[in-house]
Amino acid sequence: MVAPLHRLLYADLVTRALQEDLGRAGDLTSDTVVPAAAQARAAFVARQPGCLAGLDLAAETCRQVDARLTFEARRQDGDDVAAGEVLAVVAGPARGILTAERVALNFLGHLSGVATVTRTMVRSLPADANTRLACTRKTLPGLRAVQKYAVRVGGGANHRFGLDDAVMIKDNHRQLAGGIGEAVRRARAAVGHTVKIEVEVDTLEQLTEALEARADIVLLDNMDPATLRQAVAQVRAAGTGTLTEASGGITPETAAEIAATGVDLLSVGWLTHSAPNLDIGLDIDLGSGS
């Protein structure tokens, strides 16, 4: 089970989303159509199957809109849910429920979508593969912490959270530095002993340079499976303990074949920047039901 995010990591995000939605005049519809004293109960319901993520953000949204609202989770993040399943129930002032609805559903649907595509890809990998699926920094602005959390919920791993996590020498860096060896040398001389150094390589010749420079990780970029197998064999033969990471155009259809080459990691940007929303709705219950 993945540890929940600390509230400090998403409370301001929820506040900004609510401010964006409420604008300058507030919820004109709910405040004029719904009686101020009206009470209601509503259920967050999955419209399609998937992996649930984002319940804490949905609950925080309800709390920030109206502290009198109660939020009862019926499932937990990381659960596989079926279409029609009740995920959580919110109760209290009806205006508050309706004001919170869209922002709560936006977070819940998006993060569940990220968790769902991650879980789908993880489950597509060969059972005997030791390859981990990782996301990248290709996140939506402002959402990195919660999107990377959703990837973990779905069974994936996180690559760098930011530029300060590790050294990542890509093609532009090595060109400006004068080559892979010089780039690694400069980085090694400047960063602390706990900082990993990763080098992106496009060819087996560049891989040789990275291994000679004793890079901690090599990013094998846009290599076909046959070349990846050669690269993995070359790294293992070097005996440096260097981790191998494959990247570039990896899909659920190709992930298993790429994992079978023996690479340690698959890094996939679209898990966060292009995951489809999981369809979740909010159903008002005027009776004493669910």
Residue range 117-134, pLDDT digits in tens: 999 999 999 988 899 999
Do 48 and 154 fall within a single domain? no
Nearest CA to 5 out of 160, 207, 121, 150 is that of 150
The mean pLDDT of 71-100, rounded to a whole number, is 98
**Residue 286: what pLDDT?**
66
Do 37 and 75 fall within a single domain? yes
Domain that holds residue 79: 7-122+276-285
CATH code where residue 29 lies = 3.90.1170.20
Residue 214: count of CB within 10 angstroms of its CB? 14
Whether 137 is in a domain gets the answer yes
Which letter, b or e, does each residue of 248-277 get, where b requires 16 or more Cβ atoms within 10 Å of its Cβ?
eebeeeebeebbbbbbbbbbbbebbbebeb
Do 257 and 280 fall within a single domain? no
DSSP reduced 3-state for 9: helix
Instruction: Band the pLDDT of 287: cuts 50, 70, 90.
Output: low
Nearest CA to 76 out of 44, 103, 121, 36 is that of 44
The mean pLDDT of 238-262, rounded to a whole number, is 95
Do 179 and 114 fall within a single domain? no
Residue 4: count of CB within 10 angstroms of its CB? 13
Nearest CA to 219 out of 180, 253, 251, 252 is that of 180
Q: Tell me: the pLDDT tens digits for 181-204?
A: 999 999 999 999 999 999 999 999
Q: Tell me: the pLDDT tens digits for 25-60?
A: 999 999 999 999 999 999 999 999 999 999 999 999
Query: Residue 234: what residue type?
Result: Q
Q: What is the mean pLDDT of the chain?
A: 96
Nearest CA to 240 out of 266, 268, 271, 217 is that of 217
Q: Is the pLDDT of residue 85 over 60?
A: yes
Spatial distance between the Cα atoms of 192 and 197, rounded to a whole number of angstroms:
11
Q: What is the pTM of this model?
A: 0.95
**Residue 1: what pLDDT?**
85
Give me the half-sphere count of Cα atoms (radius 13 Å) on the Cβ side of residue 144: 11
Q: Is the pLDDT of residue 111 over 90?
A: yes
Do 189 and 55 fall within a single domain? no
Q: Is the pLDDT of residue 288 over 70?
A: no
**Residue 285: what pLDDT?**
87
Do 56 and 104 fall within a single domain? yes
Known catalytic residues?
102, 138, 170, 200, 221
The count of domains in the chain is 2
Whether 2 is in a domain gets the answer no
For the chain, what's the residue count? 290
Whether 1 is in a domain gets the answer no
